[in-house]
């Protein structure tokens, strides 16, 4: 498995996680529990957990290229919801 992670500073992370999961729930499988959300894409899974100061984002999948592509998709979508403070800073780190 290939895993990439980022921690994104924002005090509104819980709101963005919920909005993003609701947005994607029309086409993808999503789960939300408070400020934690999971989105299952065809080739990877994205988990987001907010804590009042940031969002911890983890994307895991078998194909490294697919995981890499999703970093842009996730960041772009979060920035849409965070338009008042966007662009947010995403420092992606590979974990394998």
- Phi, psi (deg, nearest 5) at residue 49: -135, 120
Give the pLDDT score at 86: 92
Judged against a pLDDT cut of 90, whether residue 96 lies above it is answered with: no
CA-based Rg of the chain, rounded to a whole angstrom?
12
In this prediction, residue 85 has a pLDDT band, given cuts at 50, 70 and 90, of: very high
**β-bridge mates for residue 46, sequence order:** 39, 59
Using one digit for the tens of pLDDT, what is the confidence trace for 27-51? 999 999 999 999 999 999 999 999 9
User: Mean pLDDT, to the nearest integer, of 7-22?
Assistant: 97
Give the pLDDT score at 84: 94
**Strand intervals (E) in 10-96:** 29-33, 36-40, 45-50, 54-61, 93-94
Of the candidates 81, 58, 90, the residue with the CA atom closest to the CA atom of residue 12 = 81
Give the pLDDT score at 1: 95
pTM exceeding the 0.75 threshold for the entire prediction? yes
Q: Which CATH class is domain 2-88?
A: alpha beta
Using one digit for the tens of pLDDT, what is the confidence trace for 60-80? 999 999 999 999 999 999 999
Name the residue ranges covered by the structural domains of the chain: 2-88
Residue 95: exposure state from Cβ atoms within 10 A (0-12, 13-18, ≥19): exposed
């Amino acid at each position: 498995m290939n895993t990439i992670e980022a921690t994104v500073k924002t005090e509104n992370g819980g709101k963005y996680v919920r909005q993003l999961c609701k947005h994607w729930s029309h086409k993808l499988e999503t789960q939300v529990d408070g400020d934690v959300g999971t989105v299952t894409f065809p080739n990877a899974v994205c988990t987001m957990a907010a804590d009042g100061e940031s969002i911890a984002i983890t994307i895991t999948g078998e194909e490294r290229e697919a995981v890499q592509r999703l970093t842009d998709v996730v960041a772009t979508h979060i920035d849409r919801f965070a338009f008042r403070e966007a662009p947010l800073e995403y420092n992606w780190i590979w974990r394998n």
